[in-house]
Chain A
């Protein structure tokens, strides 16, 4: 093994050790794993049908038969929360994937090429940053009409600039590294340099940003659905369930509390996991952590 490879392996082992050594990060990873299982298997986990109306049993408080109680039409809140988590996660994952692909492409090309390409791309990003997130998403929904696909696109577009900025900043610092220059002088093509040298070296900050963006995407989807512009009924969504609970808060607290708690727990887990990743993947933070550990 070459020295470089040994160092690389050591770095990776140390990263994993740091990541697993933080109980908060591990706990949030476990929560996220559970959320992922729910997202994949919600239909089978749900004890009742999401639209099984049972008016005689409306507004029942949590019990053995209905763990999260029932809503104003007697529908099982737990089943609806589970299926809504699935919908939320799907929107979040697709929209953030869109933002990563488009944003990273724009950022890497801008940072690597420099010159007028960089100027034009980054001015466009600046313009997008001038619009508050939810407002831009609302404007996109106003154009394309409400619905799941529009929601995914709107949230994806809104979070693209942040990935472009992170990718560009990291690319700029990697571009001047000697190994990139050496690779270029050996006649390697630009695409190969980007894929082989630039992308792996800017992955750290991008992974951290992805985790944090998933948290925001869940919140944005919930907000859009709350406003009636996101996921449309009869498909349940966490945001809309909270909206519908407004008239029943004092009669049936469970209608508001459980969907909200689901959003809160998922967002918190993504945030904490993202923070844990940052501690490991951000070299500056990492040296501080290691130094503290050795004390």
Chain B
């Protein structure tokens, strides 16, 4: 008999592949749902019959639809996502160029979020019903309700324009200019991180509260263990499993949600790429970026599930 964890892995992988197939169908359908002729729309004023035919056959849109779908899936699996309607560059190359900027922002955001949310959420749960818990809850509600782009603009107004401490916008690559990279990362990272911190704090608080209500925590307390041991060894440690999941989901959400923040800070990542592509009706780029972000989303969820199974034996056995 195969090991339970292998079976769990196989089941999760099969499930992710089914969802991936659905994602591919949606992304493929995107360009076909456009009312009118996407090639014609994309060419706009640059339209000539020759340019039209060239772009149409280059993007494979002159083939029968079923053939197009399998062609798209086949190419996508080998990393070929077509060429940009706008400048003819391969979409895969464009995406690879943009990924580091978005990854820097997402990682900075999640690190800032955890630095705030872990202590705040745990503190709040352990002091349930007290004033400090109330303050944390209200603050996190405020954070969830602030539009991120508004916060970004206010942060720029305060720290860049008024105080002159940090650059207003732009990006420097980590390898070329580490100091400039960090300077440019602070404000967009804070914008993403503060909103994510508000969401994470709420989940971490309820995860800890849920564990604190468990029988084994009561047992630990009633057999006379010190509050510190009960808190850290029994409560917080067991709450780490759901916290891990939430952090993973939050990271995936940030990857797909940084569009507006990237626009505010002129950050050359995937989000701003999608935004510009939507404005220019550059469908292959939209398709490629949406596919990449959805795949990253699935991948992060899969990794979280696997870590979950490694950390918590009950899950892989059920």
Contact = CB atoms under 8 A, between A and B. Distances in A.
Interface of A: 123-124, 126-127, 130-135, 138-139, 141-144, 215, 219, 222-223, 226-229, 239, 242-243, 245-246, 249-250, 253, 256-257, 260, 263-264, 267-268, 271-272, 275, 292
B157 A256 contact: yes
Contacts of A215: 145
Contacts of A139: 30, 286, 290
B156 A249 contact: yes
A134 B257 contact: yes
A246 B161 CA distance: 11
B166 to A, nearest CB: 15
Contacts of A229: 278
Contact of A142 (B153, B252, B283): B283
A127 B147 contact: no
Contact of A249 (B18, B141, B157, B274): B157
Chain A interface SS verdict (over half): helix
17 contacts: A127-B26, A131-B293, A133-B256, A133-B257, A138-B278, A139-B290, A142-B277, A222-B147, A223-B260, A249-B156, A249-B157, A250-B157, A250-B162, A260-B153, A264-B146, A267-B144, A275-B141
A39 to B, nearest CB: 18
Contacts of B33: 143
Contacts of A143: 30, 33-35
Q: Is the interface of B mostly helix, strand, loop or mixed?
A: helix
A171 B147 CA distance: 34
A263 B255 CA distance: 23
Contacts of A228: 279
B142 interface: yes
Contacts of B129: 292
Contacts of A260: 147, 150, 153-154
Contacts of B259: 134-135, 138, 223, 227
Contact of B278 (A142, A243, A245, A249): A142
A127 B154 contact: no
B263 interface: yes
A96 B260 CA distance: 22
Interface string B233-275: 0000000000000000000110111011001100000000011
Contacts of B293: 131-132, 135
B147 A271 contact: no
B161 A264 contact: no
A223 B271 CA distance: 13
Contacts of B146: 264
Contacts of B150: 242, 256, 260, 263-264
B161 A250 contact: yes
A264 B154 CA distance: 13
B317 interface: no
CB-CB nearest 7 A-B residue pairs:
A132-B256, A127-B22, A260-B150, A268-B145, A267-B145, A249-B157, A142-B278
B23 interface: yes
B162 A245 contact: no
Contacts of A123: 18-19, 22
A124 B256 contact: no
A135 B274 contact: yes
B149 A223 contact: yes
Contacts of B141: 268, 271-272, 275
Contacts of B264: 246
Contacts of B257: 132-135
Given A123-B22, A142-B286, A253 B157 contact: yes
A215 B144 CA distance: 10
A268 B140 CA distance: 11
Nearest to B261: A223
Given A143-B34, A242-B149, A260-B147, 9 more contacts: A127-B26, A130-B297, A131-B294, A135-B257, A135-B293, A138-B286, A142-B34, A260-B150, A267-B147
